[in-house]
Structures are given as structure tokens and as C-alpha cells.
Amino acid sequence: MKLLSHSPRKTQQIAGLLARTLMNKNFSPPHIFALKGNLGAGKTVFVQGIGKALKIKQKILSPTFVILKEFPLPKNANFEKFYHIDCYRLEKAAEIAVLDFKKIIQNPKNLIFIEWPEKIKKLIPQKAVWIEFKVIDKRTREIIIK
């Protein structure tokens, strides 16, 4: 599926649609999302839209320097915890192991969004949904969900 966004607000609205789908209790949604794209392509803006739709109270910023941030989710959600992971600063995939990455991704009650997943590609499960962000021009982004 390919979508076009012409503003950060629209990117967050698209993310909100995905979040509402994930909260639908009538099906077993995927729980791992790999967000690929250049700097400034809209990955963090997208995750902020997910967080907003999930009613996360804390401000979601890129966890570039801490690598991983965990947020509790409301009790009525399909998921218990929301993880925002940013692998930009990692040099080797093994570096994420110290953060209990394998344990986090094995729990289907964890909703996980990973920026710069190509840095740890061999650790990303095959069932993960890949979302690619392409810069079309200064304001336009193409969002490709695979």
C-alpha cells in the first residue's frame, strides 16, 4: 500500500488510522513495525501519531541517544506496552541485545516501532511489517506499507 502525505499533520493522521486498526479486538494484529527512511523522512512524526492515537500521555521524541523508550498503554488496549526504538547510533546489531531486545519482540503484548531497522535487520522477525518513508519534496512524503 502506498500513501502520500503533504504535511507532518497528515503523516500523524495516517499513523492514527493504523493505531486504531491495531486496537481492533476482532483480529490479531502485527506487533512489530520496522520504519525505514532517510533522516527527516517522517519516521518519528509517524510514531508520534501512533502515540497520540493510543493516548500516550508522555511526549514522544526520537530515542536516538537512549536507543529505546517504553510507554505503558491503557488497560483496554490489545497491547500492554509501546516501545519506540531508534537504531541510528548502533554500529552492530548485537549492541541492542543488552536492552533485552529479543525478550521485547517475543512478547505479542508489546507494540514495537523500530526506526533504522536496517541496522539490526538480521534480528527483525519475518512477521514484522515494514513501512518505508520516501521524501518526494520539501513537504511531501510517500509512505509504503509492506
128-142 pLDDT, tens digit per residue, is 999 999 999 999 999
User: Which domains occur in the chain, in start order?
Assistant: 2-145 (3.40.50.300)
pLDDT of residue 20 exceeding 90: no
Cα dihedral 37, 16, 21, 136 sign: negative
pLDDT of residue 38 exceeding 70: yes
Cell matching residue 33: 513495525
The confidence score (pLDDT) of residue 76 equals 67
Percent over 70 (pLDDT), the chain:
97
**Strand runs (DSSP E) across 9-87, as ranges?**
32-37, 68-72, 81-86
pLDDT of residue 27 exceeding 90: no
96 backbone dihedrals φ, ψ, rounded to 5°? -80, -15
Rounded mean pLDDT, 60-68: 83
Contact 113, 47 (CB under 8 A): yes
Rounded mean pLDDT, 104-116: 95
Contact 110, 80 (CB under 8 A): yes
The confidence score (pLDDT) of residue 115 equals 96
Write the DSSP symbol of residue 23: T
37 backbone dihedrals φ, ψ, rounded to 5°? 165, 160
